[in-house]
Amino acid sequence: MNAIDVTGLAKSVGDSRQLFSGLNLAVRPGELVALLGESGVGKSTLLNILAGLDDADAGEVRIAGTALGPLDEGARTRLRREKIGFVFQAFHILPYLTLAQNVALPLALIAPDTATATARAGEMLEAVGLGDRGQGYARDLSGGELQRVAIARALVHRPALILADEPTGNLDPETATRVLALFAQAARAGGAAAIMVTHSAATAQVADRVLTLTHAGLVGGA
């Protein structure tokens, strides 16, 4: 079964300006897809639709075999929590929680085992090079550090599908390489599918497939 299946997706914004239509995409477990495309073409909008955070005008999205369309808001939220790890372009780290609590949040929402959530959050912070910052707060972090917290949070519950919007955009090349290795490991060892929006050649290079979003849909890729 594919981690995600998209058929005939169409989306217009504002005064009926069409971003894309007839868009198809299938990503297998363990596969890393880089998504390119010029600014404003609709990459973030597409990721939001894939996560069920925004509605398409037409078409279908299936996450691990389950169609999003017929689900009510509660069922969508549950599916998103269990199956999806999302790295937003604007990190959305909650300012009133510690960084460790931010990272543990997806696990806390799925299961009430605090000890496991705390331990796993610590591991993930360690993996992104912020092992000693867990008790800090978002206000004390740089943009690149915040981004790494967002990545740790997206991977902490071992989601089947990782959606990441320019996950290495604010990182120096060395940290970016390390973070990319985390995504690759989640995909190749953990069997997750990942779709990563990127402008970076380094990100595209670790991907199994490189697709470009255009008004005609997704182009490229083997």
- The residue among 203, 76, 87, 88 whose CA lies nearest residue 156 is 87
Other CB atoms within 10 Å distance of the CB of residue 61:
20
Other CB atoms within 10 Å distance of the CB of residue 65:
10
HSE toward the beta carbon, residue 3, CA cutoff 13 A: 26
- For Mg ion, the closer of residues 43 and 80 by Cβ is 43
Residues in the chain: 222
- The residue among 116, 113, 203 whose CA lies nearest residue 151 is 203
Among the residue ranges 2-10, 42-50, 101-109, 122-130, the one whose residues contact ligand ATP (CB under 6 A): 42-50
Among the residue ranges 13-21, 35-43, 59-67, 169-177, the one whose residues contact Mg ion (CB under 5 A): 35-43
Binding of Mg ion at residue 44 (CB under 5 A)?
A: yes
Nearest distance from residue 167's CB to ligand ATP, in Å?
Answer: 13
Binding of ligand ATP at residue 70 (CB under 6 A)?
A: no
Site for ligand ATP in 99-158 (CB under 6 A): none
Tokens 């740089």 belong to 142
Nearest distance from residue 127's CB to Mg ion, in Å?
Answer: 25
2 binds, among Mg ion, ligand ATP, none (CB under 5 to 8 A by kind): none
Angle, CA of 164, 165 and 171, to the nearest 5°:
95
- For ligand ATP, the closer of residues 42 and 167 by Cβ is 42
Which residues of this chain interact with Mg ion, rule CB under 5 A? Answer: 43-44, 89
Which residues of this chain interact with ligand ATP, rule CB under 6 A? Answer: 13-14, 19, 37, 39-45, 89
